Amino acid sequence: MDILQNLLTTLEFIIQGLWITVWVTVVALVVGLVFGVLTALMRVYGNRFWRQVATVYSVVIRAVPVVVIIFILFFVIAEYVNLSPFLAGSLALGFASGAYQSEIFRGALQAVPAGQMTAARAIGMSKVQAIWSIVLPQALRLALPAWGNEATLVLKDSTLVFVVGVPEILRRTQQVSARTNEPFIAFGAAMLLYLGLTLLTTQFLGWVERRYRLQM
């Protein structure tokens, strides 16, 4: 009874960080999506220059720990632009995720059969039109399973923004744990929340995937 009561109170406090975790994840995923798709397009269709820009981005970002990117944004860039911890953290996660998403979308773009581009050009589409309305929509669908996996990774990586003081789930958990001296209950509650979030995310993405599956 006591434990249950305790767990509920703890949950009540931690759950206020839930929306922050969700928002950090969503912003990071959207930023990552934009960067990922753009750099993938640059790598597949760009000239030498753009291909190199994209490759450097992808290689450098993937070589650096995400926490370092968060610190760079928060302590260095935030000197010049007004970046809240929330924004610095989510953007950093987004840049990082973009590099991984770029790999996913590059593979997906290359998996679209060449005949699709040929047929699009044959009805008079320009290359840009053909990419935008024929190749990319198919590539996005092909990328969905791998992208869903990346989404759950970003959800878990969102804990990293606690290093700059964003009061998301993990940070709040630590606060409770320090105050009540009951780490088992605090981290148990956090675990339950993450488990729930991850399950929801995979369920939702599974539904999207079934809805938009490409039948070849």
**Of 104, 120, 160, 186, which lies in the binding site for other proteins, with binding defined by CB under 8 A?**
120
Nearer to other proteins, 119 or 195 (CB): 119
Please work out the total of residues on this chain that contact other proteins, with binding judged by CB under 8 A. 21
CB burial of residue 96 (10 Å; 0-12, 13-18, 19+): buried
Nearer to other proteins, 26 or 117 (CB): 117
**Of 110, 126, 203, 207, which lies in the binding site for other proteins, with binding defined by CB under 8 A?**
126
- Of the candidate spans 40-48, 70-78, 102-110, 128-136, the one that interacts with other proteins by CB under 8 A turns out to be 128-136
Nearer to other proteins, 4 or 123 (CB): 123
**Of 7, 78, 125, 163, which lies in the binding site for other proteins, with binding defined by CB under 8 A?**
125
* Ordered DSSP codes for 8-76: HHHHHHHGGGHHHHHHHHHHHHHHHHHHHHHHHHHHHHS-HHHHHHHHHHHHHHHHS-HHHHHHIIIII
Q: Are 98 and 35 in contact (CB under 8 A)?
A: yes
Q: Are 190 and 96 in contact (CB under 8 A)?
A: no
Q: Are 35 and 103 in contact (CB under 8 A)?
A: no
Q: Is 121 in the site for other proteins (CB under 8 A)?
A: yes
**Of 124, 181, 210, 211, which lies in the binding site for other proteins, with binding defined by CB under 8 A?**
124
**Of 23, 53, 71, 141, which lies in the binding site for other proteins, with binding defined by CB under 8 A?**
141
Which residues bind to other proteins, rule: CB under 8 A?
113, 115-116, 118-126, 129, 133-134, 137-138, 141, 214-216
